A and B are shown apart, each in its own frame.
Chain A
Amino acid sequence: MTEFFTATLGLNLNLVWFVLVGVLFTGYAVLDGFDLGVGVLHLFIRDDGQRRLMLNTIGPVWDGNEVWLVTGGGALFAAFPNVYATVFSGFYLAFMLLLAALIFRAVAIEFRDQQPQGWWRRTWDFAFGLSSLVVALLLGVAIGNIARGIPLVVGDGGEIEYAGGFFNLLNPYALAVGALAVTLFALHGGLYALLKTEGELHEKLRRWILPLFIAVAMSYALMNWLAMPVVSQMENSPLFMVAVAINCGVFICAFIAMLRQRYFIAFLSSCAFIVTLMVLFGLGMFPNLVISPGALPGAPALDMYNAASSQRTLAIMLVITLIGMPLVLTYTVFVYRVFRGKVQLDGHGY
């Protein structure tokens, strides 16, 4: 089977999994991104009925969307165990905070409607909003650090370990990526909620979209300004420049669609913007997954070869993916179709 993929089809399985892990995390960013964004915006809504409507826009789908993260983590473990081990143990406290936030988001949405008292609901609403914000921020900061490079050392068994602490993670560039993640997901969630709501809440969200666009543009500019020394070595690559052009193009497209009140187009453009950002991240890292700051030649790094599992495992996992992903896409589409249209408060949601 391994020979079929590598010899007969001429596939580079390491490259296939570099891309597939990227696809899973991109799927997570696009899908759970709007759930997290709805959570962040939820913080700024006061009325209980409107809060319930906001929760109902994501109620049936957020759990399935989070599975993209779980599966991405599993795929990283399986395909690039060295990356999984180095990053997860290296970013220990940050990941523990992320887990705490993911726990609170999951239970807050389930607990809030179990009691009618105001204080109960406000507490869980706040927990839901704050944990959504923290998840977005931490994921952004994590990606920022991976892109920028982290201090690495080579251990006794040849394994590559993180050599910094928690506060090394809080550098300006990584924080700017964190800010971009929060604002971008808020915009993404806002556009999604616009599609799913009507009436008063819809009008309220409509007024928020322009400020959100400006916030995204500002954090995007800040990130790029701080990133210039980091990515300078990639500026000559034409592929990279094309991706940058598309990335900027879809953002402008989203903006125009928003002005013309074509919210479905705006939402699709915002999906494309997130996808192209992840593509840029992948192109910038390629063929590495974890680098030292500045990616100097000879510095320790985990790439898609020295971090990978055996060819046999990569081939087995490709078979599992080829069988599983069409099924996953089928029932994802099915669920979104069942719950299409505007949400209402009818006693079957939150």
Chain B
Amino acid sequence: MFEVMDVEILARVQFAFTAAFHYIYPPLSIGLGLILVIMEGLWLRTRNSLWHELARFWTRVFALTFALGVASGVVMEFEFGTNWATYSRYVGDIFGSALAAEGIFAFFLESSFLAVLLFGWNKVGPRMHFFSTLMVALGAHFSAVWIIVANSWQQTPAGFHIVGEGLAARAEVTDFWAMVFNPSTVDRLCHTVSGAWLAGAFLVMSVSAWYLLRARHVAFAKAALKVALPVALVAALLQLVTGHHSAVGVARYQPAKLAALEGHYPDGPAGMWLCGWVNDAEETVSGVQIPGLLSWLVRYDANAEITGLDAFAKEDRPPVNLTFQCYHLMVVCGALIVIVSVGGVLLWWWRGRLFDHRGALWVLVFAVALPQIANQTGWFAAEIGRQPWIVYNLLRTSDALSRVVTAQQVLASLLLFALIYSLLFVLFIYLLNRRIQLGPAAREERL
């Protein structure tokens, strides 16, 4: 038993670590992809070389995030089999087809046209280049679709039946479209993609604001802000709507997760904590709460009864405080993102003051961290809140491991990934910073 516990904890830490590292890059690729499409589209329409320069510069940043996304993404695909073999046998019939569809529809599209995007500036015409950029962005969005389909099926399984019993049980598809459009897919996809747009837009805003503060590449930076700010505003507002819809879905389909998000123990009307700390042993939360808000948000009635954690056996509850803290950190960042986006756009449109308001520009420089933190903590809340299930109410995480893999092996691979990913992260930050310092003027990007 002790041995099994060790493997489970190590395998979960490894998966969480490799997924969290990976999840820095694809959202940036999706968000920057959209922004590149807009910039190149503007260049095609206006033939103003400023847009061309912007597209060239942000393509170089895109290449860096894409390379790290590819490198850390292959790991994810193999890890289901290496560390979660029992899970792989259980869900192969369902999860596998989504993963294969991702390869065929998303990755091939993305990687083929990426070649033209990066290396084809003088090999194809501007229209063809724009088309390639569009295809890369589309491929990046498609890859989000299929992985969210697979993950959402784990949250709210649908369109399947179970064959076999005990250790030999596995899920098989009965209705493909019910599986794809399971109850949480659409909400979670929209929520994740708008989070990705925010990640891209806030990076562009941060770099541009920094250029303006340093009075470097001023026209270039202003143009970039004019593209990124509207994207951020739309995504931030979309984030509110999709976040709300996701919560309503969680209330209906994953009541234990919803209760854990707000540390809600006995059944009854539930409030929302602005901040707080859960004492899981005594089943209390200390902090500041708005009573009735959760009931009102998910049932449109402040007195509506919400199922509490007490309705679930202890072994069927997620780790409450961790879920709670991740969720609330996401909500706080989400609120700040809305304030920054709306405030930025207002300063720009209403007074036209944004570009020389140093305080606002400094806020934009540091706000780059907000979508990153929100994306990570939101993902953690979704995944930790699903525990102790790997497939909600069907398969426990502790039953999903590879039976032949030992704790020592997982420890060795975990150390390997910790080492490699730390190195890559330091290099990524260093090279990103260097790209920003060099700026758009560095015409000969390949030294």
Contact = CB atoms under 8 A, between A and B. Distances in A.
Interface of A: 59-61, 63-64, 66-67, 69-71, 73-75, 77-82, 84-90, 92-93, 95-96, 98-100, 102-104, 106-107, 109-111, 113-116, 155-159, 161-163, 309-310, 312-313, 316-317, 320-321, 324-325, 327-328, 331-332, 334-335, 338-339, 346-350
A320 B163 CA distance: 24
Nearest to B91: A81
Contacts of B108: 64, 67, 71, 324, 327-328, 331-332
Contacts of B443: 347
A100 to B, nearest CB: 6
B167 A67 contact: no
A57 to B, nearest CB: 12
Main secondary structure of the interface of A (DSSP, over half): helix
Interface in B121-178: 121-124, 135, 163, 166-168, 170, 172-174, 176
Contacts of B166: 157
A331 B92 contact: no
25 contacts: A60-B120, A70-B107, A71-B103, A75-B103, A77-B77, A77-B81, A81-B92, A81-B170, A84-B80, A85-B88, A89-B82, A96-B416, A102-B74, A103-B71, A103-B74, A103-B424, A104-B420, A107-B424, A309-B93, A312-B176, A324-B108, A335-B115, A338-B123, A339-B120, A348-B446
A81 B93 CA distance: 7
A96 B112 contact: no
B89 A328 contact: no
B78 A99 contact: yes
Nearest to A81: B92
Given A103-B71, A158-B168, A339 B97 contact: no
A78 B420 CA distance: 29
Contact of B434 (A81, A114, A325): A114
Looking at B75, B93, B121, which has the most chain A CB atoms within 10 Å of its CB?
A: B93
B168 A334 contact: no
Nearest to A320: B101
B242 interface: no
Contacts of B176: 312, 316
Contacts of B120: 60, 338-339
B405 interface: yes
Given A87-B81, A89-B404, A64 B111 contact: yes
Contacts of A158: 167-168
A300 B278 CA distance: 51
Given A110-B63, A331-B108, A90 B404 contact: yes
B109 interface: yes
B58 to A, nearest CB: 16
B427 A111 contact: yes
B231 to A, nearest CB: 26
B90 to A, nearest CB: 8
Contact of B103 (A67, A155, A331): A67
Interface residues of B, number: 79
Nearest to B102: A74
A110 B109 contact: no
Contacts, number: 251
A115 B442 CA distance: 13
A74 B83 CA distance: 16
Contacts of B92: 77-78, 80-82, 84-85, 309
B71 A324 contact: no
Given A77-B81, A85-B81, A102-B74, A313 B99 contact: no
Given A85-B92, A89-B85, A77 B100 contact: yes
B72 interface: yes
A295 to B, nearest CB: 21
A126 to B, nearest CB: 15
For the complex of A and B, the 4 pairs showing the least CB-CB separation, nearest first, are: A81-B92, A157-B167, A78-B96, A88-B81
Given A74-B100, A347-B446, A96 B77 contact: no
Contacts of B170: 81
Given A115-B447, A162-B404, A103 B67 contact: no
A89 B99 contact: no
A102 B420 CA distance: 12
Nearest to A24: B103
Nearest to A94: B82
A93 B412 contact: yes
Contacts of A107: 67-68, 71, 424, 427
Contacts of A70: 73-74, 77, 103, 107
B70 interface: yes
A78 B149 CA distance: 14
Given A67-B107, A103-B74, A328-B104, A338 B115 contact: yes
Contact of A313 (B64, B72, B173): B173
B137 to A, nearest CB: 15
Given A87-B81, A89-B404, A313 B172 contact: yes
A346 B446 CA distance: 9
Given A78-B97, A89-B404, A93-B412, A348 B104 contact: no
Contacts of A79: 96, 100
Contacts of B91: 81
Nearest to A164: B404
A161 B89 CA distance: 12
Given A67-B107, A100-B416, A320-B101, A350 B446 contact: yes
Contact of A85 (B64, B121, B167, B402): B402
Nearest to A69: B74
Contacts of A81: 88-89, 91-93, 96, 170
Given A75-B103, A86-B85, A89-B85, A113 B447 contact: yes
Contacts of B115: 59-61, 63-64, 335, 338-339
Contacts of A106: 67, 70-71, 74
B265 interface: no
Contacts of B107: 67, 70-71
A70 B105 CA distance: 12
A267 B246 CA distance: 53
B72 A103 contact: yes
A63 B108 CA distance: 9
Nearest to A70: B103
Contacts of B119: 59-60, 339, 348-349
A110 B93 contact: no
Contacts of B416: 96, 100
B81 A335 contact: no
Nearest to B68: A107
B413 interface: yes
